[in-house]
Amino acid sequence: MATGLPALVMWGFTVDDALISVRYARHLAAGFGWRFNVHGPVTDGVTPLPWPLLIAPLASADAWTVLTRVRAAGWAAAVLGGALLGNAIGQIDRAPAWARAAALATLLLSVPVAAHAVSGMETSLATLLSTGAAISYRRPLRAAAFAGLACALRPEMAPWAVTLAAGLSIAARWPPACVVGACGLALSPFVFCALLRDAIWGHPAPLALLAKPSSLAFGIPYAGAALVVSIVPILVLAPWALWRSPPAAAIVCAACAHAGAIAAVGGDWMPYARLWVPVVPSLALAATLAGEHATALATGSRSVAAILLGLLLLARGGTAGRLVGADREALIRQSRSRLEPLGRIASLDVGWVGAATEADVIDLAGVTDPEVAALPGGHTSKRVGALFLLSRSPGALLLYSATGLPRGRLDAWRDADFSRVVEARLARDDLIARHFEPEAWLPLGPRGAGYVLLRRTDNIDPSPAPR
């Protein structure tokens, strides 16, 4: 109940990047290989390397249907993870029954966990695996194996996996050689993925790391906000009780290592603290283990504070993200007839565009395009100039504005508020204005946001480039 029911409430939530993975999986299922564009090169455009292979069996349909299947599978993973967690918490007999219930009630109110259970990303599976690692606290090797599988899906979880394996091994009073062996087991899937990437693409790190350079200026606020909005970390603010419960301390130390890794990689642009979510259920377990050694007053105070914060965040619109999916689906459906005839389309948000058409998509963020990823700038500020873009022969260009067109006039598109740097730069460029003209406004949701569709006016070959 603590994981399945809230996820159903957040069923409508998704993110654009989920459709990137779906496009790779659909191309794998259709026999085109590991490609974002059918006529393009093999590219490392999905950070969780095994993910397209895992969802490829679900990918024999249109993109939105595939995404719905993946989201349903994510919900099932969340329910399974909740069942395993509930069973583990139920067996901690020395913790009061009300404290065990409070830990699960706090998890129920954690909107980020619910949202990313059904987002269509790999987050739900990573959460299941990390939960499996935590509930195996009495068996450090099993915990290390689950933790390693989790960091194969989320590379930034490698410090968490190693810290958890080491902490649980030390808590079990294993000799140093065995502790090192457990750490090696936890790290081996991460190393394997890095070596595979290096062999295929010539770089051990995911392409996203190049496309979005890390920055502590973004990462530290992201990690801090994630600790608050996920609410469960409040339950483990019990240093004395953690000191007396080595397994709980190991789980919390691993979570601290993960928070540091998130800050180091610069956080993430997606809402609801996606990078932090996988470790949140394990903290509910740690809180229950620590509750065996805490006073009823201290445990009750932390539980009340966490539950009140969760209710406050809900009252302030914490579940608004559940409307995102319907808006995105409507955008895809309404845009398909306009985008399908175009040969190549340049866009910063390539997930929904790739779901609306099989035309080649030029990724202005560089997440799926190594050439763009290597350009200076961040995720939404790559120095893509007009000459560079025109050299890629786009038939159309999409620019996003959160506030709509000035006075609702399509011919005033250059005066729209393009808040993302690369789109603002291209909109101001006179060379772009000479080669493109506005064709349509594609609305996204009911609040005025949407995309300006610019069509290339000079003669170019609209057909995709040969493979």
> In Å, how far are 118, 394, 410 from 274, measured between CA atoms?
12, 32, 36
Tokens of 429: 């460029």
Q: Residue 126, SS3?
A: helix
Contact 354, 361 (CB under 8 A): yes
- H or E segment to which residue 400 belongs: strand 396-401
Nearest to 115 by CA among 350, 323, 326: 323
Contact 5, 109 (CB under 8 A): no
> In Å, how far are 146, 154, 368 from 376, measured between CA atoms?
37, 25, 16
The pLDDT score that the predictor gives to residue 459 is 61
What does DSSP say about strands 450-456 and 436-443: parallel, antiparallel, or unpaired? Answer: antiparallel
Residue 20's identity, in one-letter code, is I
Q: Note the pTM of the prediction, 2 decimals.
A: 0.94
Q: Residue 282, SS3?
A: helix
* Spans of all domains in the chain: 4-321, 340-456
- Write the CB contacts of 209 (distance below 8 Å, at least 6 apart in sequence): 265
Mean pLDDT by 10 residues, the chain (467 residues): 96 95 97 94 94 96 97 98 97 93 97 97 98 97 98 96 98 96 97 96 92 87 96 96 96 98 91 96 97 95 97 93 94 94 92 95 95 90 93 95 92 94 95 95 94 86 46
* End-to-end Cα separation, the chain, in angstroms: 49
Q: Report the length, in residues, of the chain.
A: 467
The pLDDT score that the predictor gives to residue 460 is 56
- Write the CB contacts of 181 (distance below 8 Å, at least 6 apart in sequence): none
Contact 135, 152 (CB under 8 A): no
The pLDDT score that the predictor gives to residue 213 is 82
Tell how far CA 8 is from the center of its chain: 19
Instruction: List the CATH code of the domain at 340-456.
Output: 3.40.190
The pLDDT score that the predictor gives to residue 104 is 97
The pLDDT score that the predictor gives to residue 462 is 45
The pLDDT score that the predictor gives to residue 212 is 86
Give the torsion sign (CA, 376, 267, 7, 47).
positive
Tokens of 366: 């560089």
Using the CB atoms, write b or e for 101-137: b if 16+ within 10 Å.
Answer: ebbbbbbbbbbbbbbbbbbbbbbbbbbbbbbbbbbbb
The pLDDT score that the predictor gives to residue 214 is 79
> What CA–CA distance (Å, rounded) separates 324 from 319?
10
In the block, tokens 């067109």 appear at: 405
Q: Residue 442, SS3?
A: strand
Q: How many CB atoms lie within 10 A of CB 467?
A: 11
